[in-house]
């Protein structure tokens, strides 16, 4: 499927009228998010599979941003993408949070957690072991909490 089709998938009702897809508003939606997220693409009608991993991830993120959610849950949002794209995704998540979106990010990468989070809930053996504020969260504390035997 194309980049435009992937972007509009969760928000099809907003680009369709009477069950018919309005290709102009679909293209505009895809172009808007490609610009916001800095997705590098030749055309929004190119197949998603033609993009690099990081840019595919951005298209995937566009899909979930397109319906305009209040809460965004991200599970390992930077897994398997290169360093540059990772930094961009981090910047983007920061912007979204600054605009007032509640973001629940699930990650197993400590630097990412420490760099991004306002609050950190440390999971251990399937339960939340502790909830730390930004100030009290350190690498040692998170590690020891997560490894503690329940």
Partner 1 sequence: MRREKSTGAALLVLLLVLAFAAPEFFRLSNLRELLVNNAAMLVVAIGMTLVILAGHIDISIGSQFAIASVMTGVLAKEGLPMPAAAMGGVITGGLLGSINGVLVAGLGIPSIVVTLATMIGLRNGLRWVTEGRWVQDLPASFQWAGLGQTGGEALILFVAIAVFAAFAWASVNLQAMRLLYATGSNPEAARLAGIRPPRVFFAVFVSMGMLTGLAAVLNAMRFSEVQGNAGVGLEMQAIAAVVVGGASITGGRATMIGTLLGVLLLAVIGPALTFAGVSAFWEKAIQGSIILAAVLMDARGPRRVHVAATP
Which residues are at the interface with partner 1 (CB under 8 A)? 1, 5-6, 9-10, 12-13, 16, 19-21, 47-49, 53, 56-57, 59-60, 63, 80
Residue bearing tokens 């939340």: 128
Give the residue with the Cβ less far from partner 1, 9 or 114.
9
Q: Are 2 and 47 in contact (CB under 8 A)?
A: yes
Give the residue with the Cβ less far from partner 1, 86 or 142.
86
Which residue, 86, 18, 26, 23, is CA-closest to 57?
86
Other Cβ atoms within 10 Å of 116 Cβ, number: 21
Give the residue with the Cβ less far from partner 1, 16 or 145.
16
Instruction: Provide the minimum distance between the beta carbon of 57 and partner 1 in the complex, in angstroms, as a whole number.
Output: 5
Query: φ, ψ for residue 116 (rounded to 5)?
Result: -100, -30
Instruction: Provide the minimum distance between the beta carbon of 118 and partner 1 in the complex, in angstroms, as a whole number.
Output: 25
């Amino acid at each position: 499927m194309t980049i435009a089709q992937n972007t509009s998938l969760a928000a099809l009702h907003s680009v369709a009228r009477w069950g018919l897809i309005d290709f102009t508003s679909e293209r505009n939606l895809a172009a808007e998010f490609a610009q916001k997220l800095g997705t590098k693409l030749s055309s929004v009608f190119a197949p998603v599979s033609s993009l690099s991993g990081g840019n595919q991830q951005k298209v995937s993120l566009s899909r979930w941003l397109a319906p305009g959610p209040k809460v965004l849950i991200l599970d390992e949002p930077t897994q398997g993408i290169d360093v540059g794209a990772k930094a961009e995704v981090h910047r983007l998540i920061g912007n979204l949070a600054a605009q007032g979106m509640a973001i629940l990010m699930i990650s197993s990468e400590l630097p990412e957690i420490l760099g991004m989070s306002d609050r950190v809930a440390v999971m251990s053996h399937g339960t939340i072991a502790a909830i730390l504020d930004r100030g009290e969260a350190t690498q040692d504390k998170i590690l020891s909490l997560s490894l503690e035997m329940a």
